[in-house]
Amino acid sequence: MQRTVVGVLRGGPSSEYEVSLNSGATVLAELDRSRFEPRDIFIGRDGTWHLGGRPVPINKALQGADVVFNALHGEYGEDGTVQRILDIHGMPYTGSGSLASAIALSKHRTKELLEPYGIRMAQGVLVSPEDDGQLEIDVMRVFNAFPAPWVIKPAASGSSVGVSVVRDYTKLPDAIRDAQRIGPKVLVEEFVRGREATVGVADNFRGEETYAFFPVEIILPGNAACWTYEAKYDGSSQEICPGNFTHAQKEELITTAKKVHKALGLSHYSRSDFIVTPRGAYFLEVNTLPGLTSESLLPKAVKAAGATLSEFFSHLIDLALKKK
């Protein structure tokens, strides 16, 4: 039987470059060799595509591939850019399309679109100061909107890159400027106290139109106020799957994750993050291309459900091929 050639995209010009390299390595290692012929397509930090370790034009990198497994993260990979490139070349790929990807990576736009669905979310203020005068005005807007502590995060990034928690009004300007190193727009939200959770979903998996994996509970290291980029990948946090939530909490998490996936028009799979409080679960953000490293949450949820990564990756590729 002729094998399907799968181009695995990894790397890319984003702040999540290293995570993407590892996600792609997982995909390359776990692909079912009896069905698929993997092809490592590396994208450098400068956006140059490589095949066989050599820089090549995009059409050359894609030539001969039947489908692309998109293991990129963050800007370029999750903001619709690479999806538009693949669409232009008529190449099917895993994950959401260009428009849905762009919307989901924008935390503020995501919250605006989900508001009519009755999903519980933290209050937030979007700021994009270009000078000190505007920064002073934006800081005052935040101060008047809701009390400290505040969570400061780049409005369009993943893996908690650039996220911080500020309890002192005088430190808000520096925190906003720090987040602007990732992107010009910054979302400042009220700090919601509770337990971290995440839920992955997949289309048409195990006979369900939208299948939800067990909610994962994340226990932060020490006195950490939020789940930082470092804590996600240095092994210092503890992930429990299935998480120690009540039946009602699990149902709310699962229902909301499915609702987010459908409302935003996402494809194939996604993973939604939450804070669980006595008042209910607060939706934080959705990941259209969740991490697939050994420390990543979705692979742990897949294994907890009794599936293998090879089975799951095969399913995603089959979904992508059906787009042809």
3 state DSSP class of 155: coil
Residue 49's SS3 state is strand
What pTM was computed for the model? 0.91
Closest to 269 (Cα-Cα) out of 303, 320, 304: 320
Of 213, 194, 174, 154, nearest in space to 14 by CA: 154
Alpha-carbon gap, residue 172 to 175, rounded angstroms: 5
**CATH (domain of 166):** 3.30.1490.20
Of these residues, 14, 23, 159, 160, which one is catalytic? 159
Tell me the pLDDT band of 48, cut-offs 50, 70 and 90: very high
Single out the catalytic residue among 16, 78, 189, 203: 16
Q: Is 22 a catalytic residue?
A: no
Name the active-site residue from 75, 183, 190, 271: 271
Q: Is 287 a catalytic residue?
A: yes
Domain count, the chain: 3
Same domain for 74 and 207, yes or no, is no
Active site residue 204: no
**All residues at 6 or more sequence positions from 76 whose CB lies less than 8 Å from its CB, including other chains:** 12, 13, 14, 43, 47, 82
Active site residue 75: no
- 271 lies in the same domain as 305: yes
Q: Is 136 a catalytic residue?
A: no
Both 238 and 112 in a single domain?
Answer: yes
Active-site residue flag, 291: yes
Same domain, 269 and 295: yes
Q: What is the pLDDT of residue 46?
A: 95
More reliable by pLDDT, 200 or 128: 200
Q: Distance (Å, rounded) from C-alpha 44 to C-alpha 18? A: 11
40, 137: one domain: no
Q: Among 66, 189, 203, 285, which one carries the catalytic annotation? A: 285
Residues 114 and 252 in one domain: yes
What percent of the chain stands above pLDDT 90?
78
Which CATH number do you get for residue 23? 3.40.50.20
On whether both 200 and 255 belong to a single domain, the answer is: yes
Instruction: Give mean pLDDT, residues 157-171.
Output: 80
Catalytic site residue 131? no
Determine contact, residues 317/233, Cβ cutoff 8 Å: no
Residue whose C-alpha is closest to residue 198's, from 153, 156, 158, 240: 240
269 is annotated as an active-site residue: no
pLDDT at 234: 56
pLDDT > 70: what percent of the chain? 94
Which residues 6+ apart lie within 8 Å of 32 measured at CB? 310, 313, 314
- 135 with 172, same domain: the answer is yes
Residue 183: what pLDDT? 83
Categorize the per-residue pLDDT at 15 as very low, low, confident or very high, splitting at 50, 70 and 90.
confident
Are 211 and 84 in the same domain? Answer: no
Domain that holds residue 150: 124-190
For the chain, give the mean pLDDT: 92
Pick from 169, 190, 211: which residue ends a domain?
Answer: 190
Same domain, 131 and 83: no
Q: What is the pLDDT of residues 223-240, one digit of tens each?
A: 555 555 555 555 667 899
Pair 137, 43 in one domain: no
Same domain, yes or no: 146 and 294: no
Q: List pLDDT tens digits, range 238-255.
A: 899 999 999 999 999 999
Which among 269, 273, 296, 314 is annotated as catalytic? 273
Evaluated on CA atoms 263, 266, 270, 273, the torsion sign reads negative
Phi-psi category of residue 141: left, alpha or beta, with phi > 0 → left and psi -120 to 50 → alpha: alpha
